[in-house]
Structure 1
């Protein structure tokens, strides 16, 4: 249940681990690993816990913060007054407090009392705290009774005072102030946090403890005395050495008190506050709309095409190429006015050659994935890659500045369009419909394109009406990737064939998915890839640039239809997502280099800059321009931009 819960948290998640086990079970390891992957920041209370999370659970060291257990802030040296209030006189008082259970090791102290009492007959050992409720439920007071029987058999019952109740904080601290030496004889040396130990140190008590994790760290530097576990002689010797030397006892108390100043609640609160400040999204800096540098596209391209992936900003040749990225790259150079016409034609020819080579005429389908050695990994690519290729060919036939490339695209489009009749996944239909609708606008009498538009729009409209519920205006029972393309296709089909019903369905479903991807704070929150395919549900991570581009494209298309401010608002939110208006406050895109990070995960930005992300950013810029120009034309606002792709920013109101 906890893991299911944290998977749905979009806000920065801070996880506090009370204990990090040295040898967790397989299930414990699975749960901790999952929490570590989701956490933006992790808080632990010991250095060893941090080191274990890093070594055993692969937590990035930079997100793990050690903030020691907090403790109260009270004046030093008030033992006499609090002893008097309890009628304890001047007796030396030893104390252990906390919920009782076998893990406390109290029997070891009781076994040490005979030797202590021989040297100091007036010593009183106070055991403060109720029995642990889980122990009460399973065996009642058996453990406490066994301790009392041990005290009776060793003849020390008269020197033990039992405070058998659960105390509120003030009473607990008052009781603790009435002691001279605090004992934590825990036999389990893996305990990484003890609130009772933190309290005792902060109140200035001389502490004798076994060397469990928290004690080793808190009592280091002679702040306390560490003794071997389950050793009554060691405890007796440590207690007697302090009581025999009042000056040493006073020094130990002062050392503890001084060390405790580092852990008092105000210091704890400051540390936690600073941790939270480092975890939350920072205020967004306004970002003008500047055409991204084409350098990032160049560095991901070679004579074969555009490489898929990168490690950081360096192309990763191991994964080769894919049709999807090359069709997107071709669509970009069709409209990228910020580079020379010669470079546009050169790059367009490279991407076009990749698409042409991807066409497998023997089976009537495009291949998708190619290794770096130019060998295809398959004979048939995914339906989506085939649909995107048809869309890109249509756009190239219309948008490319070179007549020969436009003719090439038209011929190949006409060749492959008929094979799309076998494609029926919703997004593939949307891609084909977008391409065919563009062709209908360019070639009104082209019947294969009209038929493809009708087929795609009718199926999408049918899916929408079949799947809709009062709270779910969508084409399927799930939401996945590139979601706005489905309503965008209906809008394009409605415009191409003058079908108001398709336009209305496209606008309605686009408004719904845009609202679904808007966080309560108003920023864009795309459906995360981890949640693709969840019935009537979604998860916030990982967020990918492709989703922002799809929103911008679809909103620009909708804005051209009705000029509604709604589309401008959602489009602007998607654009700003690239520049920090997101759940982690991270900037993904850099106009100066043209690079774009691969998305947002629970810890922040994915630092890799793959082809899909770079192209999504560059194509988003052109959709953003369309939105701004459309709004300006409608409202009469002035826009400062360079029509031929200069570097001056677009200024929008």
Structure 2
């Protein structure tokens, strides 16, 4: 079997690198006549560091270079491996919480086994969804504690059958003799701690306990073995070590504390653990699901005294060690004195630890991995993410959170309404459209009560000449002399829809008043996106009044403005209405599809098809959409992708849906569903923008992370997209003779 291992690798100095190196060696050491496994390593480099790797390392990735992850994915696939073992720790990959790694994993064409070194009980948004996505992409997730299994199944919703428990490996301590080493301290009782130094290690707890211990046992020394963690040293140099040394002096135990500064070889660590009478892990926080150092101590048969962090509680059960309270030097002192007063207790604990630790030797761990890999390689590869193939329950909670008695607030800090930024017409017009659609489709009839709030805001923003203000402060002051043409167009769309499908006569008459007071501005509008919005509004109007000659004339006039714009700007390669792709792009071909639905003009159809397919070509990538970002895409220049926004996704979904309605081409229906999956995590970062906790939608997809603010535009865009997909699915289901009813991508 050809195995790729992805993770940190020695000589990089960190626990993951040590683990990965030992895992690779253990798999190779297990080769025999029946098995001949080959191991290749793809190693992570940090902070522009490069290392002199051994021959087994065939490729490297720079942590913060997004393109390196795609290059590495191609390298792995081209190496023809059978399986990939992936070492996951949040801090070793680039992007927010290491999100870049998802693009690599998503491109692999082989089974993935992920070893999880950290599983958080209270993850942030990115951490939670990254681990959930890793769970979807992996055939197996290896954990090193039973609590980790509980976390994965309950917090991250990962099926139990995907999880395998395999201990953290340790060296074989069965044949080591404890003589002739540099850690041999005759006539001394040796207390020890090893590992990288950092504030979370809590070594000050031990130093503060030593005065009481040494008073009763003056032959005690405490050895702190290890260098300061490279990341800590980069920012704080030796501040923590110096603090500990000064603390030892203050406590008058400096002669009893020995700092062995360095990165020690495995043989040195083994000798150190054998020579220690008591090994101490005084960590300050319980939230450590895996600890390599305490595993080593168990394997060595050490008498361990530890704070009760998660992994320690499991490993030290059944009298394999003692625990003391976090940051409690008095409790530690009593525990140490009790053990030192009773050598038999120390001996019994050592025996229990040693016997348990035998099952953790790397030679046995390597065999467990090989057995698991063999089973996976004989199982069909399943990469389907079920979460992307279903619609969550429709929920208006965040819309209601953002709405007060004036209207819907424009912005939010995370999911908390930002009153300081006030309101805008764009969002209130879209919010009105949302509640009307939810009512009409019978998805949420109760939300129609919000329509009066949004109508009140729209009425307030309409000026005497029929145009609109856009922005208003929370103090109810207009923030502009005149609103944008785009906000005007979006309001006319909402009024047209309300005229067509008003839930009552009062709303119908209200919409007509707003609509016709603005009517004389329609022909003067120059923004092509505003024109597109107006066309859609006029089409809705004509669904109720199909014989209104003046509206028909106006719709024709505005539609042909778009066609003339297209003729002026498009060419054989750039089939678009302007020399730029920017925001809300798909709204323009969407308007043409609406217009064609009524006019049936072949020229409109041709431009609608060409512009739809052009935008599709520029957006559709690898079975997902990559939206034009807010840095925009100029004709003839390099296409940027950062700053992707939900409003663009909504327009794409509506465009594909209308193209499907008109052409009956199944491909457009599938593209609509795939475009909706952008919200659910099928995007360039593979992180969902829909927040199932707040029921809001994040504001955008940046190069390194999701923008976690959840303003009105984003959540409305998500919910309007939802209703578009839901409505389309209902039509497909009802058309039982259509094969799409059986093969549809989404379930409802």
TM-score w.r.t. structure 1 length?
0.56
2:502 counterpart residue number: 400
Matches of 1:399 and 1:584, distance apart in 2: 39
Matches of 1:339 and 1:396, distance apart in 2: 17
2:114 counterpart residue number: none
Contact 2:389 2:745 in 1 (8 A): no
Q: Which has the higher contact order (CA 8 A, sep 6+)?
A: 1
Matched, 1:444 2:546: yes
Contact 2:438 2:445 in 1 (8 A): no
1:354 counterpart residue number: 457
Matched, 1:594 2:695: yes
SS in 2 for 1:367: coil
SS in 1 for 2:625: coil
SS in 1 for 2:631: helix
- Any residues of structure 2 matched to 1:475-624 within 5 Å, and which? 475-519=577-621, 521-533=622-634, 537-590=638-691, 593-624=694-725
TM-score w.r.t. structure 2 length?
0.49
Q: 1:625 aligns with which of 726, 730, 739?
A: 726
Residue 544 of structure 1: how far off its partner (Å): 0.9
Closer/same/farther in 2, CA of residues 253 and 539 from structure 1, 3 Å limit = closer
SS in 2 for 1:529: coil
Matches of 1:348 and 1:430, distance apart in 2: 24
Q: Give deviations 1:349-389, integer Å, cap 9, x for gaps.
A: 11011111111114x41110110111110121111011111
User: Which stretches in structure 1 are left out of the alignment for 5+ residues?
Assistant: 1-13, 21-34, 42-53, 66-212, 222-250, 263-280, 641-648
Closer/same/farther in 2, CA of residues 588 and 652 from structure 1, 3 Å limit = same
Matches of 2:689 and 2:614, distance apart in 1: 26
Matches of 1:462 and 1:60, distance apart in 2: 44
Closer/same/farther in 2, CA of residues 518 and 317 from structure 1, 3 Å limit = same
- Any residues of structure 2 matched to 1:10-409 within 5 Å, and which? 17-18=47-48, 285-337=387-439, 341=445, 343-344=447-448, 346-362=449-465, 364-409=466-511
Residue 531 of structure 1: how far off its partner (Å): 2.2
1:138 counterpart residue number: none
Closer/same/farther in 2, CA of residues 563 and 282 from structure 1, 3 Å limit = closer
Closer/same/farther in 2, CA of residues 586 and 63 from structure 1, 3 Å limit = closer
Aligned length: 406
Contact 1:282 1:585 in 2 (8 A): no
SS in 2 for 1:307: coil
Contact 1:394 1:436 in 2 (8 A): yes
SS in 1 for 2:565: helix
Contact 2:670 2:745 in 1 (8 A): no
Matches of 1:606 and 1:383, distance apart in 2: 27
Matches of 2:599 and 2:704, distance apart in 1: 46
Q: Give deviations 1:132-174, integer Å, cap 9, x for gaps.
A: xxxxxxxxxxxxxxxxxxxxxxxxxxxxxxxxxxxxxxxxxxx
Contact 1:598 1:608 in 2 (8 A): yes
Contact 2:415 2:694 in 1 (8 A): no
Residue 473 of structure 1: how far off its partner (Å): 1.0
User: Which stretches in structure 2 are left out of the alignment for 5+ residues?
Assistant: 1-43, 51-63, 71-90, 101-229, 239-259, 271-291, 293-382
Matches of 2:520 and 2:664, distance apart in 1: 35
SS in 2 for 1:448: helix
Which protein has the larger Cα radius of gyration, Structure 1 or Structure 2? Answer: 1
Contact 2:523 2:558 in 1 (8 A): no
Contact 1:432 1:452 in 2 (8 A): no
SS in 1 for 2:475: coil
Matches of 1:600 and 1:64, distance apart in 2: 12
